[in-house]
């Protein structure tokens, strides 16, 4: 590459870079002999089609609207990746296989050639005075369906573990900060497992006076919840190979916690490092106990907590904290294990009540939390509608045979609305489409089902028309997709996730001191405050409200960070600078908080809306790789079989029939199919994602749902065989294919 060396010796000084000019970050490269130059980095989603333009002197250039933060990037010159020769700062890339150029855009809009963020502690919460800016925080709480309908038992413990660690306290924490309003997304598949299995099935066996579970009656009645409940209620000295699988042998076991979490429990960590052949009965008892204990929110370990349903939880008689780590106060007995199940029940039974207690009422304008939901089994809705839509954002990927069932996509929405209404007594106004996945085709499904707003990622906004609109405004899309038409009843408001800030909470702040992280968040938000006081800007932050916290190394479960953040936001609310707002408040107004109403059609229109998700503004996490495509073909084969048999589709809003009639089994066959349409199975296929305990349980879960479609149809009297290919793992080469 001769032009690289020419750049080093001949390029004029003005090319020291990147530079910030008139609100844009400018990239340049002197390469007179190059045929094409692209810049790819964090600021554009590592797109490989952002071509620079060459002038008559041989300098290629392009400018980008970039937000404050740390950015890695590289040039692609005639198809070959290279560092920026004008930037001396580089870091190892994400895979630690090479280097990327890096820079920091500070909060006062200066380019800093350094690799560390521009963050400083500010415990006094003193910030420069700015005009008002609105902040829309959405915490997404989701678990896929771990239900094996044939066994009538959940095959994973994760609804329970996150219930005791995250789902309760992420809502209850807000009570201390009444001027902080947020949105919490509770997916239907999560709510169903929480309510129908943990709460309803444990309640008859919970004795509030003794604070124990009646284990004898529980086993006599053959109750099924999840295998780890049985593990805690069964005497460890009677464990067989079956129970030992759930202790330490299976992919999901009692050591399935993050390294950060287990480091806080030295006795637990020592048991993990011990040779399993030398485990004693006491060791097995402690292992199962620690698996529960480590998944309790720190508030329950550090003092007494009164729950929203009136119960109290206090584990300080069992555990004590020394130098930031937890140690047992006593030898653990089987009675202690039983008690922990009782404490678990109390917390899980309070999850829905705490959300109801704090739920925002758009009519009365009371409450702090707008509760929304997601299509029932968390499907990638545009792909359920038509997998060929992936050709738009993934033109070079090989796709499976077309799967197109708009009626299934509609049923997933209807089911979630009906279940939400059953729990909360009203219909949701907003939805987070699974993984922020949207397309023009699914807009009408949301509109016709009464949904007023949805959310996705700003990378989708950047590719929608008109392109590259500011991310800090909501936009609307029309059901009829006719440009310029403004019908409030047929329109949908969309907000776009600030990628940089959302990902900072999920992936960057875990390595920060919590006060510095909270300050970094605030300074970022204030950097977008408008100069014009009449300009209403809305920054939207969306991420999991559960998975991030277990990786916070300098802050136990993210508690100090969240408290510091809410404290700062409360002060800035009082000063009129940052107003946390829910989308119901935004659309319908809240005079008590100085928020005026905003008609959906009063916003700028997008036409067309780009088809994509929060990841890469496409669907390549769920379709396009060989394993993913094969999973879609399996799903298509099963979907065609249920269609070929003309199995009546139940009303999506109806409950499971009580009697085991033909209609009962047909209902469960459809339910298993809908569950197999969930996004989580496809997420773990391919090379782009890897689970902590391995991908195998998800592969088994996906195929179990498909197999159960046939088993229920057989029980309903249909003459059909289970295809042999469904018994072969998708995670390796397969001979039997549909």
Alpha-carbon span 409 to 653, nearest angstrom = 14
Candidate from 11-15, 316-320, 667-671, 702-706 with smallest mean pLDDT:
11-15
- Is the model's pLDDT at 2 over the cut of 80? no
Express each pLDDT in 541-579 by its tens digit. 999 999 999 999 999 999 999 999 999 999 999 999 999
The mean pLDDT value for 200-222 works out to 98
pTM over 0.95: no
Q: Which helix (H) or strand (E) holds 503?
A: helix 499-503
Residue 16: what pLDDT? 63
Q: Of all residues in the chain, what percent carry a pLDDT higher than 90?
A: 85
Cβ–Cβ < 8 Å for 609, 464: yes
Express each pLDDT in 311-332 by its tens digit. 999 999 999 999 999 999 999 9
Alpha-carbon span 469 to 458, nearest angstrom = 9
- Is the model's pLDDT at 297 over the cut of 50? yes
Residue 17: what pLDDT? 86
Express each pLDDT in 72-85 by its tens digit. 999 999 999 999 99
Express each pLDDT in 490-539 by its tens digit. 999 999 999 999 999 998 899 899 999 999 999 999 999 999 999 999 99
Helices assigned H by DSSP within 359-405: 381-385
- Those residues whose C-beta lies under 8 Å from the C-beta of residue 37, and which sit 6 or more positions away, are 29, 31, 51, 52, 54, 60, 75, 76, 77
Residue 686: what pLDDT? 84
The mean pLDDT value for 26-40 works out to 95
Residue 41: what pLDDT? 92
Express each pLDDT in 212-238 by its tens digit. 999 999 999 999 999 999 999 999 999
3-class SS letters over 29-95: EECCCCCCEEEEEHHHCCCCCCECEECCCCEEEEEECCCCEEEEEEEEECCEEECCCCCCCEEECCC
Residue 10: what pLDDT? 42
Alpha-carbon span 418 to 402, nearest angstrom = 29
Please state the CATH superfamily assignment of the domain spanning residues 2-112 in this structure: Immunoglobulins (2.60.40.10)
Torsion of CA 126, 130, 132, 133, to 10 degrees: -80
The mean pLDDT value for 337-353 works out to 98
Q: Which helix (H) or strand (E) holds 189?
A: helix 188-192
The ranges assigned to domains in the chain are 2-112, 133-139+374-605, 152-340, 626-727
Average pLDDT, the chain: 93
- Is the model's pLDDT at 8 over the cut of 50? no
Model confidence band, residue 117 (pLDDT cutoffs 50, 70, 90): confident
Model confidence band, residue 691 (pLDDT cutoffs 50, 70, 90): low
Candidate from 270-274, 629-633, 686-690 with smallest mean pLDDT:
686-690
- Is the model's pLDDT at 484 over the cut of 90? no
Torsion of CA 594, 599, 603, 609, to 10 degrees: 130
Fold classification of 133-139+374-605 is: 7-stranded beta/alpha barrel (3.20.110)
Alpha-carbon span 103 to 22, nearest angstrom = 18
The mean pLDDT value for 39-51 works out to 89
Handedness of CA 318, 321, 324, 327 (dihedral sign): negative
Task: Identify any residues that bridge with 371 across adjacent strands, giving them in sequence order.
Answer: 184
Q: Of all residues in the chain, what percent carry a pLDDT higher than 70?
A: 95
- Is the model's pLDDT at 663 over the cut of 70? yes
Express each pLDDT in 238-292 by its tens digit. 999 999 999 999 999 999 999 999 999 999 999 999 999 999 999 999 999 999 9
- Is the model's pLDDT at 190 over the cut of 80? yes
The mean pLDDT value for 352-379 works out to 97
The mean pLDDT value for 634-649 works out to 97
Alpha-carbon span 66 to 103, nearest angstrom = 12
- Is the model's pLDDT at 338 over the cut of 70? yes
Q: Which helix (H) or strand (E) holds 229?
A: helix 227-233
Residue 245: what pLDDT? 97
Alpha-carbon span 37 to 494, nearest angstrom = 34
Residue 23: what pLDDT? 87
Residue 340: what pLDDT? 98
The mean pLDDT value for 195-216 works out to 98
């Amino acid at each position: 590459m001769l032009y690289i060396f020419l750049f080093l010796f001949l390029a004029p000084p003005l090319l020291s870079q990147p530079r910030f000019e008139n609100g844009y970050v400018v990239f340049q490269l002197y390469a007179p002999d190059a045929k094409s130059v692209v810049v790819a980095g964090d600021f554009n989603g590592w797109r490989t089609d952002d071509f620079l333009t060459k002038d008559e002197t041989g300098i290629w250039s392009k400018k980008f609207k970039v937000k404050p933060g740390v950015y890695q990037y590289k040039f692609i010159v005639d198809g070959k990746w290279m560092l920026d020769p004008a930037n001396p700062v580089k870091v190892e890339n994400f895979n630690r296989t090479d280097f990327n150029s890096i820079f920091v855009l500070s909060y006062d809009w200066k380019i800093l050639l350094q690799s560390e963020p521009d963050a400083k502690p500010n415990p006094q919460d003193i910030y420069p005075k700015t005009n008002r800016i609105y902040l829309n925080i959405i915490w997404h709480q989701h678990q896929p369906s771990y239900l094996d309908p044939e066994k009538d038992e959940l095959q994973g413990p994760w609804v329970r573990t996150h219930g005791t660690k995250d789902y309760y306290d992420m809502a209850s924490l807000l009570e201390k900060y009444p001027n902080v309003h947020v949105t919490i997304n509770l997916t239907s598949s999560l709510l169903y497992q929480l309510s129908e299995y943990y709460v309803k099935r444990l309640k008859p066996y919970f004795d509030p006076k003794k604070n124990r579970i009646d284990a004898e009656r529980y086993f006599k009645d053959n109750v099924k919840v999840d295998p780890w409940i049985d593990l805690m209620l069964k005497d460890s000295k009677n464990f067989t190979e079956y129970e030992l699988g759930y202790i330490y042998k299976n992919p999901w076991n009692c050591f399935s916690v993050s390294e950060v979490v287990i480091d806080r429990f030295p006795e637990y960590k020592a048991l993990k490092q011990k040779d399993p052949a030398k485990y004693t009965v006491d060791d097995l008892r402690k292992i199962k106990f620690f698996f529960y204990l480590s998944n309790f929110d720190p508030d329950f370990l550090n003092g007494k907590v009164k729950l929203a349903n009136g119960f109290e939880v206090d584990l300080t008689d069992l555990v004590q904290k020394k130098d930031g780590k937890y140690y047992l106060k006593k030898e653990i007995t089987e009675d202690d294990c039983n008690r922990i199940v009782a404490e678990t029940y109390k917390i899980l039974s309070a999850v829905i009540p705490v959300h109801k207690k704090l739920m925002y009422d758009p009519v009365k304008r009371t409450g702090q939390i707008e509760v929304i939901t997601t299509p029932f089994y968390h499907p990638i809705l545009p792909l359920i509608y038509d997998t060929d839509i992936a050709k738009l954002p993934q033109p070079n990927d090989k796709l499976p045979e077309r799967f197109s069932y708009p009626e299934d996509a509609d049923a997933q929405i209807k089911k979630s609305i009906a279940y939400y209404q059953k729990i909360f007594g009203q219909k949701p106004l907003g939805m987070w489409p699974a993984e922020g996945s949207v397309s023009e085709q699914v807009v009408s499904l949301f509109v016709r089902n009464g949904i007023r707003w949805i959310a996705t990622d700003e990378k989708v906004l950047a590719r929608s028309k008109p392109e590259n609109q500011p991310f800090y405004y909501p936009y609307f899309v029309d059901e009829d997709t006719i440009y310029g038409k403004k019908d409030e009843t047929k329109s949908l408001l969309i907000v776009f996730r600030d990628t940089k800030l959302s990902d900072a909470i999920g992936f960057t702040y875990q390595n920060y001191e919590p006060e510095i992280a909270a300050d970094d968040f605030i300074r970022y938000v204030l950097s977008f405050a408008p100069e014009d006081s009449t300009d209403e800007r809305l920054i939207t932050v969306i991420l999991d409200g559960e998975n991030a916290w277990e990786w916070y190394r300098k802050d136990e479960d993210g508690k100090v960070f969240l408290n510091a953040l809410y404290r700062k936001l409360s002060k800035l609310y009082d000063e009129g600078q940052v107003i946390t707002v829910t989308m119901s408040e935004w659309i319908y107004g809240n005079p008590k908080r100085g928020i005026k109403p905003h008609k959906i059609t009063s916003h700028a229109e997008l036409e067309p809306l780009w088809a994509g998700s929060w990841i890469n503004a496409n669907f390549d996490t769920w379709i396009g790789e060989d394993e993913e495509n094969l999973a879609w073909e399996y799903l298509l084969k099963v979907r065609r079989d249920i269609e070929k048999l003309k199995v009546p589709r139940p009303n999506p809003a109806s409950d499971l029939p009580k009697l085991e009639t033909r209609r009962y089994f047909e209902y469960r066959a459809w339910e298993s199919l809908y569950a197999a349409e969930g996004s989580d199975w496809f997420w773990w296929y391919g090379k782009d994602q890897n689970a902590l305990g391995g991908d195998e349980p998800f592969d088994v879960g996906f195929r179990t749902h498909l197999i159960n479609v046939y088993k229920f149809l057989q029980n309903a009297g249909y003459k059909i065989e289970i295809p042999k290919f469904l018994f072969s793992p998708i995670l390796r080469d397969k001979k039997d294919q549909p």
